[in-house]
Structure 1
C-alpha cells in the first residue's frame, strides 16, 4: 500500500492539513489500514522534500495546509497508470509458516491448517457482514463507494486463502496416503562366506 500516493490523491482535491488527510484516508478505506498523525506528517515531509507537495497557507484554525505541486500531479498520474508490480510479492506469514511446518518435528501441520481456516472463514464472515451493512443504504458519496471496493477485496482475499488452505490439506492427505501404500524396502543381510573345506593331510 502506498501511503504517499494516497495522500497525493487526496491533496489533488485541494489543500489539506495532516489530521484532515488521516480522517479522509481512513474514511475511504474504512479504517482498514489506520494511520496515525505522526505517520502522515512524516510522509508529508518526505513529499515536500521530493518536491511533490508544498506548504500552503494556514486555515482559520491555524492548521498548516499542504498542496500538491505539478510534479506531484505527474507522479500521481504515473501511479494510477502503472500496474501494481506483482513480480516481487510481499512476504506472506501464513505461507512461510506452512512451509516451515512441513516435516517439522512435533508440529501437526493439519492442525495448523484447520486453525487458520477457522480464523480465515470468520474474518470472511465479518467482512461480508460489513458489506451487507454498507449496502443496506444506497451509497450516498464516493467515500462509501470506495469503502465497498476495499471490503470486497478483503472478502475475495479471504475466500482465496480459504481455498488455498483446502488445497494444502488435500495435498498433504494425498502425500500421506501415497507414503502409506509404498512397499517397505527389503532388508538385506550380509551373506556368510562358505565354510572352507578342510584339506586332508598328506601321509608321509
Structure 2
C-alpha cells in the first residue's frame, strides 16, 4: 500500500498570513497553478482512491486528483490541520506581537506546544497515524491523501523518530508539495518527503 501525501494548494489566508488551523479560505489563482503542476507530477500515478481533510482548500486539491484518476474522494477528519485554538483567524504578525512566546514555539513546531484550546504536534501526529494504520493489511494500491502543512510536518516528525527536542518546522512542505509513505505489516515507512521539484517553475514565474 502506497500513499502520496500532499499539502493542499495555496489558500487566500496562506497568502495573507492569517492563521487558519481548522478554519478555511478559498484556493487562490496561484493555488490552481500549483494544482496544475501537481497533476503533471503525478500523471503516471493512477490513484485507487483519494482521501482528504474536510477543509475546502484540501477538498479542492483532492477533487483534482480524483478527476485525474477517475476515482472517489473521501473526507476524513483525522487529516485536518493542527487546531490553533484561540489564534485561529488572527493575522500571524498580530498574534506574534501579542503572544510572542507561545506563537514562536508553536510555529517553530515545538512538539509539546499548543495554543489555548488547540492541539500540539504530538496530538496531530497521533490522529494522522491512526488514519494510516486503519487500513486492513490486505489493502493494495496507491492512494492520494490531501492534508495540511503543520499536519504533514507532524507526521514526518513522527516517522523520523519523534525527537521531543526537535523543531518540526524543518519538515515543512510548500503548497502542493508531497511525501511518499509505504505501509506494510502494520508499519509505516517514509520513502521520501518534501518533494517539490514540480513547483520550481512557479516559484520563478511572476504571479
Global fold match (TM > 0.5): no
Task: Compare CA radii of gyration and give the structure with the larger one.
Answer: 1
TM-score, normalized by length of structure 2? 0.26
Bigger strand fraction: 2
Structure having greater relative contact order (Cα 8 Å, sep ≥ 6):
2
